[in-house]
Structure 1
Amino acid sequence: MALAQPAPTDTELDAWCLRWLGSGVSETLFTTAHLSAVVGVRLKDDREVVVKVRPPAARLAVCTAVQQALWHSGFPCPRPLLGPVPFGAHAATAEVLVPGGDLLALDGVAQYAALLARLVRQAPRPQTADMFAPHPPWTAWDHTLGRTWPPADDRDADLNALPDTAWLDEVGERVRRRLRRGPAGPTVVGHGDWGAHNLRWRDGQPWAVHDWDSVISAPEPVLVGLAAACWPTGVVLRPATLDESAAFVEAYQQAADCRWSAEQVQAAWAASLWIDAFNAKKLALDGVAWLSPEEADRRLALAGA
């Protein structure tokens, strides 16, 4: 069962904005709620801002700091205004509303990959290996919880106790063993949910990258492999195909002006399979087939796992 974050009431939102942003709410522009409640508002002083409310977590402050640094460097992301600060029992941030923008078609793989390479280049260097811990579970192949799957982000079910998809448990363990083996290179900071649904474009140029709660740190090929699995999602309701993942990994290396070793490319394939397998375990609860055994076998082979 999905665990939606309830949207704040108008009264709560108005009081919070008055206290923390110095102006009450004139108009609510939109409201969405899933893992976070996200509300776009026009304040009485005519500013348009987005308020995001979710459970408190230490990593939120670090994610916001990365977003702030990227905005100052000229990267296309909303400017953070505040946070995280308390919102009742929750934590909230505020950022400037960046409206509009379009989804980019899948023939723009080089642009998707180049924008991620730009993010990695402009992001601050990670100060410690665990500065973003705990990572979102769909990226947390290196969790230390003792079983294959970390707790799901949006439901109560234990993914380790689902007999109908037990074949995915072996896939997950093989991926984890391959990624522990390395080598994958130095750790960088990037975005752990590099799907089309979080990216907006204008006339083929990047307009805004959203969802900065998904900042992670990982070896660069691992980060790219995660993105290579999910980058089309939002334009299409499926993961990347094998060819689409391969095209992304290749386009990223070209954009970053680097050439990875065979072991690093294998690490990217392993990371792509982690996110696919995690999502497949979770979406099976909804009757959605996200990953076939045949696709998993092909990615395992490419990962050297």
Structure 2
Amino acid sequence: MAFELPVVDAASLAMWCELHLGSPAESELFRTGHLTCVIGTRLADGREVVVRVRPAAPRLTACAEVQRRLFESGYPCPQPLAGPAPLGEYEATAESHIPGGAVLPGSGRTAQPFAAALARLVRLAPPPEQMPSLAPAPPWAAWNHGQGGLWPWPEDLDVDLNQVDGPGWIDAAGQAAREKLQEDQGQAVIGHGDWITDNLRWHGNRLLVAYDWDSLISDSEAVIAGLAAAIFLYPAPATVTETREFLDAYAIARGRPFSPGELQRCWAAGVWTRAYDAKTGHAAGRPVTCLTQDEAHERLRRAGRR
């Protein structure tokens, strides 16, 4: 069975908003989403909010609390307003609506603004031990999943990727990256696991707002930076050079270089997420465009795996 985006009718949304926000939803501003139904709405009292509806999961409580703390620290994210709380068979949260902004910084594809904004997030985020668990990570970041087999179960396909034949080079790349990451897991911090253009809006080179706080993860800083460095320009694939530039800029922004071992873990994390995307694309019958065999080889070489 294919994944279906939650369906939310206007009456249910209005009742949820009245119960949790003190005013019913009056008009819809927009509706979008991939794994989460994201509804922009104007309440009867004039406030504009965004309601996010998705299947219930214990980790969402931790995501909302980290987002709240980041907002209070001055980080550019929407203010959490309500939830997680049931909405029909699903769970919903509400946050402030921050419209506008450009998809790319004023400097375009240049990595530095992306890297600096992520490094600031990691610096301001609370320590993982102060929060409820953020596990399990979304599958594209879940190299350390415990489901058995190489690949975790995808969120948007009802298929066991471990039972999907080939391509062999994708499986080999994912396995090599996972083995590298398992060598030394490092000290955990909290960061954003889906640091891509769709989730960011800019005013010049200043981050105006970051979205999708359901994608928070707890992992080593090398993994968080490495995931972002490989995908930050999505849906355009970041080149090897752009990934290296991101990692260089991130190290400058955090105020200290990555050690050789950390840098290898950065590259391994990027291979994992790109290989996972390639595997899910293949399983869904789509052409694989996010990773090539030659690029996987070069990225694994930089990760210390040949």
In the alignment, which residue of structure 1 is the partner of 2:191? Answer: 190
Amino acid at match of 1:83: G
In the alignment, which residue of structure 2 is the partner of 1:159? Answer: 161
Which residue among 143, 149, 152 is the counterpart of 1:150?
A: 152
**1:102–1:201 contact (8 Å) kept in structure 2:** yes
Paired positions, count:
301
Amino acid at match of 2:77: C
In the alignment, which residue of structure 1 is the partner of 2:227? Answer: 226
Q: Following the alignment from structure 1 to structure 2, what is the Cα–Cα distance between the partners of residues 33 and 9? A: 15
Displacement of 1:173 after TM fit? 1.3
In the alignment, which residue of structure 1 is the partner of 2:56? Answer: 56
Q: Following the alignment from structure 1 to structure 2, what is the Cα–Cα distance between the partners of residues 53 and 287? A: 27
* Gaps in structure 1 of 5+ consecutive residues: none
Q: Following the alignment from structure 2 to structure 1, what is the Cα–Cα distance between the partners of residues 254 and 292? A: 32
**2:61–2:132 contact (8 Å) kept in structure 1:** no
After TM superposition, the score normalised by the length of structure 2 is 0.95
In the alignment, which residue of structure 2 is the partner of 1:80? Answer: 80
Displacement of 1:130 after TM fit? 8.3
**1:7–1:33 contact (8 Å) kept in structure 2:** no
In the alignment, is residue 274 of structure 1 matched against residue 272 of structure 2? yes
In the alignment, is residue 18 of structure 1 matched against residue 38 of structure 2? no
- Deviation string, structure 1 residues 246-305 (Cα, Å, up to 9, x no partner): 000000001111111111100000000000000000112232212111111111111012
Q: Following the alignment from structure 1 to structure 2, what is the Cα–Cα distance between the partners of residues 34 and 273? A: 23
Residues 1:172 and 1:10: Cα distance change in structure 2 (over 3 Å): same
Residues 1:33 and 1:112: Cα distance change in structure 2 (over 3 Å): closer
In the alignment, which residue of structure 2 is the partner of 1:292? Answer: 292
Q: Following the alignment from structure 1 to structure 2, what is the Cα–Cα distance between the partners of residues 154 and 185? A: 30
In the alignment, which residue of structure 2 is the partner of 1:9? Answer: 9
Please list every run of at least 4 consecutive aligned residues from structure 1 whose deviation after the TM superposition is greater than 4 angstroms: none
Report the secondary structure of 2:246's partner residue.
helix
Instruction: For 1:53-132, list aligned pairs within 5 A.
Output: 53-105=53-105, 106-127=108-129, 131-132=133-134
Displacement of 1:196 after TM fit? 1.2
Q: Following the alignment from structure 2 to structure 1, what is the Cα–Cα distance between the partners of residues 186 and 115? A: 19
Amino acid at match of 1:5: L
Q: Following the alignment from structure 1 to structure 2, what is the Cα–Cα distance between the partners of residues 297 and 108? A: 24
Report the secondary structure of 2:159's partner residue.
coil
Residues 1:130 and 1:282: Cα distance change in structure 2 (over 3 Å): farther
Displacement of 1:95 after TM fit? 0.3
Displacement of 1:227 after TM fit? 0.3
- Deviation string, structure 1 residues 167-193 (Cα, Å, up to 9, x no partner): 2122111111111112x6421100000
Instruction: For 1:29-48, list aligned pairs within 5 A.
Output: 29-48=29-48
Single out whichever of 186-195 and 99-108 deviates more from structure 2: 99-108
Q: Following the alignment from structure 1 to structure 2, what is the Cα–Cα distance between the partners of residues 279 and 247? A: 22
Q: Following the alignment from structure 1 to structure 2, what is the Cα–Cα distance between the partners of residues 80 and 142? A: 29
Displacement of 1:2 after TM fit? 4.6
Q: Following the alignment from structure 2 to structure 1, what is the Cα–Cα distance between the partners of residues 274 and 11? A: 41
**2:109–2:233 contact (8 Å) kept in structure 1:** no
Q: Following the alignment from structure 1 to structure 2, what is the Cα–Cα distance between the partners of residues 222 and 272? A: 8
**2:102–2:203 contact (8 Å) kept in structure 1:** yes
Report the secondary structure of 2:262's partner residue.
helix
Amino acid at match of 2:59: R
Displacement of 1:128 after TM fit? 7.3
**1:6–1:33 contact (8 Å) kept in structure 2:** no
- Deviation string, structure 1 residues 28-52 (Cα, Å, up to 9, x no partner): 0001142111110000000000001
After TM superposition, the score normalised by the length of structure 1 is 0.95
- Deviation string, structure 1 residues 77-122 (Cα, Å, up to 9, x no partner): 0000011011111110000101111111544311110000100010
In the alignment, is residue 175 of structure 1 matched against residue 204 of structure 2? no
Q: Following the alignment from structure 1 to structure 2, what is the Cα–Cα distance between the partners of residues 287 and 39? A: 28
